[in-house]
Amino acid sequence: MPVITYRQALNETLRQEMHRDPNVMLMGEEIGVFEGSYKVTAGLLQEFGAKRVLDTPIAEEGFVGMAAGAAMIGLRPVVEIMTINFSLLAIDQMVNHAAKIHYMFGGQAKVPMVLRTPGGGGVQLAATHSQNFEVWYAYVPGLKVVAPSTPHDARGLLRSAIRDDDPVVFLENLALYNTKGDVPDEADDGDYTIPIGKATIARAGSDLTLIAYSRMAVLAMDIARRLEAEEGLSIEVIDLRSLRPLDRPTIIESVKKTGRAVVIEEGWLTYGIGAEIAATIQEHAFDYLDAPVKRVAGVEVPLPYAKVLERAALPNDKHLIKAIREALYGTRS
């Protein structure tokens, strides 16, 4: 199996989808000549030309709305926004337009667009460059939200997102672009897709269920491996991959098996993904729980610039291990 980076997975998938379907086009700031702020669109302007790889002025609401417009007559625009923070300038187009057009006009027009954008912090760029707003999009019926953590899932989910007939928010992460992972050989399964709305059991286990997505899924896997090696713990890791639709059955089945659950997210605790998952577990697996569901999340402040403060505000391995111990042993940790 070839090993590629997350960035390569995205880049190759965009290229393949553009070859496969002439209706796939790209728009965004500096995605053409400059090949993207994070080089995800490298080589694509050269290969497909300016008609299909459009460098836009700094006008997020404008080009996200344009994508919705173009999608209504059958194009499949894939829009890049430099970071999820700036997608807020275009959120009206996503929430009041893209998400609703099919429903509110009685199914007359589909909006098969994708909004790709990296979220998250940890590189000292302060609050207005480091936020996690995928939850806001995941709140909205009519949108789909995916957040892969590996090159394998990034490829399979980007294919699904582009081929999907509804608007999809595709969450990336600055810290993931250079991470590496296996993908199937083109010859074996060159065109695999990952269904939107399906979580994966990234690691099977029996003592506790650890639920995460995007960069936090990488952290969750690391900690699960470490605690197995050091303490013999058997932790099942669920990588959600999709936030809407949310794969409730996979979560519920796992918790019924392990009896304990910890959720970790980089965003804020209050009203976060952890809240939705904890509610899901108590609704459907309450009788199986041996301990309260634990949530690990970012400290509820705008992420500060100073390194010491930033580090203190982000969820890390120590927070996660503490929560796992509390879920396993109560407060005796």
Among 91, 125, 275, 321, indicate the residue that binds another protein (CB under 8 A).
125
| HEC string for the chain | CCEEEHHHHHHHHHHHHHHHCCCEEEEECCCCCCCCCCCCCCCHHHHHCCCCEEECCCCHHHHHHHHHHHHHCCCEEEEECCCHHHHHHHHHHHHHHHCCHHHHCCCCCCCCCEEEEEECCCCCCCHHHCCCCHHHHHCCCCCEEECCCCHHHHHHHHHHHHHCCCCEEEEEECCCCCCEEECCCHHHHCCCCCCCCCCEEEECCCCEEEEECHHHHHHHHHHHHHHHHHHCCCEEEEECCEEECCCHHHHHHHHHHHCCEEEEEEEECCCCHHHHHHHHHHHHHHHHCCCCCEEEEECCCCCCCCHHHHHHHCCCHHHHHHHHHHHHHHHHC
**Residue 299 near which of another protein, ligand TPP, none (CB within 5-8 Å, type-dependent):** another protein
Q: Which residue has the tokens 């209050």?
A: 270
Annotated active-site residue in 35, 80, 102, 129:
129
Among 42, 126, 275, 321, indicate the residue that binds another protein (CB under 8 A).
126
Nearer to another protein, 109 or 306 (CB): 306
Annotated active-site residue in 35, 60, 265, 276:
60
Q: Rounded to whole angstroms, how far apart are CA atoms 257 and 207?
A: 9
Interaction mask 35-74, another protein, x per CB under 8 A = --------------------x-xxxxxx------------
If one asks whether residue 109 binds another protein (CB under 8 A), the answer comes out as no
Q: What is the nearest approach in angstroms of another protein to the Cβ of residue 112? A: 25
Residue type, 172: E
Of the ranges 15-23, 121-129, 233-241, 260-268, which one interacts with another protein (CB under 8 A)?
121-129
**Residue 302 near which of another protein, ligand TPP, none (CB within 5-8 Å, type-dependent):** another protein
Region 293-332 residues binding another protein, contact defined as CB under 8 A: 299-302, 304-309, 312-313
**Residue 62 near which of another protein, ligand TPP, none (CB within 5-8 Å, type-dependent):** another protein
Nearer to ligand TPP, 83 or 258 (CB): 83
Q: What is the nearest approach in angstroms of another protein to the Cβ of residue 151? A: 24
Q: What is the nearest approach in angstroms of another protein to the Cβ of residue 58? A: 5
Residue type, 326: E
Residues at the interface with ligand TPP (CB under 6 A): 29, 58, 60, 82, 86, 89
Nearer to another protein, 89 or 289 (CB): 89
Among 91, 95, 127, 269, indicate the residue that binds another protein (CB under 8 A).
127
Q: What is the nearest approach in angstroms of ligand TPP to the Cβ of residue 83? A: 8
Sequence-ordered list of residues with C-beta below 8 angstroms from that of 305, at least 6 positions apart, any chain: 124, 125, 126
Is residue 60 flagged as an active site residue? yes
Is residue 129 flagged as an active site residue? yes
Report whether 124 contacts 132 (CB < 8 A): no
If one asks whether residue 29 binds another protein (CB under 8 A), the answer comes out as yes
Q: Rounded to whole angstroms, how far apart are CA atoms 15 and 20?
A: 9
Nearer to ligand TPP, 27 or 273 (CB): 27
Please report, as ranges, the residues that interact with another protein according to CB under 8 A. 29-30, 33-34, 55, 57-62, 85-86, 88-89, 124-129, 299-302, 304-309, 312-313
Catalytic residues: 60, 129
